[in-house]
Amino acid sequence: MSTTPDRVALVLGGSGGIGRAVSERLAADGMAVAVHYAGNKGRAEEVVTAIDAAGGAAIAVGGDVADENDMRAAFEAVETAFGGVDVVVNTAGILILKPIAEFDLDDLDRMHRTNIRGTFVVAREAANRVRAGGAVVNFSTSVTRLQMPTYGGYVASKAAVEGMTLILARELRGRDVTVNAVAPGPTATPLFLDGKDEATIANLAKAAPLERIGRPEDIAEAVSYLAGPARWVNGQVLFTNGGIA
């Protein structure tokens, strides 16, 4: 692949479970991909190596999504390497579960710093840099519809993501840039599976009419659609959960 490909994607949180699947799917779609990491450079480089081995083009970029200087530098690194940015996918997020009555406010601030401020910082950079014909894809959660106990703090952060997504889509009028959010349901990632016994996972699988837990590749497929052919889908939240909600 050329070092100046037709389309270039930056995947925030691109070395994680869903993020890795998204990075590899967009590379398979023919995009050059910048795989972002917050702290684990080695894991991001593993994704880059896998993409390169499959015939794609990729680089790793680091930084705190909630730090505007880090994100400015990350976008600039992508532009230097590949000539511009067409697709920005922000999978980066923190999940902390506890009843509202017991929720530690320092944990709330930490989660909201990444999930809300981080999404806002990345969206602001994307709004000023994504080229015509491009797409911004944020990440929400299907739990905004499910109202599950212990998810109050997390859902508050993702409801904010949905709100800013719908507004940014309208603020970019005339730019030919779509802005949408993907809202996954239960998905078999290490983060989701951690601490859950087999019975809990089985019950969650039964909740969906398709009677299984989602796979990272299922979510990546939805992102691929929004990042590529879905030019008439704009200002929407796409619930990607097998029908659970």
Active site residues per annotation: 154
Q: What value does the CA radius of gyration of the chain take, rounded to a whole number of Å?
A: 17
Amino acid at 38: A
Residue 58 phi/psi, 5-degree rounding, is -155, 155
Please tell me the distance from the alpha carbon of residue 18 to that of residue 22, in angstroms, as a whole number.
6
Residue with tokens 């967009």: 26
For residue 89, CA distances in Å to 34, 103, 150, 241 come to 10, 29, 27, 18
Cβ pair 33, 23 in contact under 8 A: yes
Cβ pair 159, 201 in contact under 8 A: no
Amino acid at 194: D
